[in-house]
Amino acid sequence: MLDRLNEYRIMWIMVYFDLPVVETKERKAATKFRTEMMRDGFTMFQYSMYMRHCFSSENADVHIKRIQELLPDKGHVVIAKITDKQFGDMKIFHCRERKERKANPMQLEMF
């Protein structure tokens, strides 16, 4: 079990986007995109940047496919998949103060 939950197998999905919101139709599409991402377990990391914790690369691929199905007609979206080790090596600052990253979400396993 420990092999399944190591920092190189656990993945983070990061979604960066810049969507147009000038017209009403564009605003609705952008809102729907964000809402559906949150419904799928993504949380806002920064404005227009959402992330999700996954316990394997295969699980991350499922969520990436869902995001691809939600893509609006207009705009720019980047999806990145990184290991928990890479995420842990990130330096996160708010102004000049260093912020500690949030702990990994816990997941129960049923045998």
> What are the CA-CA distances from residue 110 to residues 5, 14, 107 (Å)?
15, 27, 10
pLDDT in tens, 40-91: 999 999 999 999 999 999 999 999 999 999 999 999 999 999 999 999 898 8
**Rounded distance between C-alpha atoms, residue 101 and residue 93, angstroms:** 10
79 membership: H or E segment, kind and range: strand 76-83
Q: Quick one: pLDDT at residue 91?
A: 87
Domain assignments of the chain as residue spans, ordered by start: 11-98
What is the architecture, at CATH level 2, of domain 11-98? 2-Layer Sandwich (3.30)
Q: Quick one: pLDDT at residue 92?
A: 82
pLDDT band at residue 94 using 50, 70 and 90 as cut-offs:
confident
Average pLDDT, the chain: 87
Q: Quick one: pLDDT at residue 3?
A: 57
Listed residue (92, 100, 90, 77) closest to 12, CA to CA:
90
Q: Does residue 111 have a pLDDT over 80?
A: no
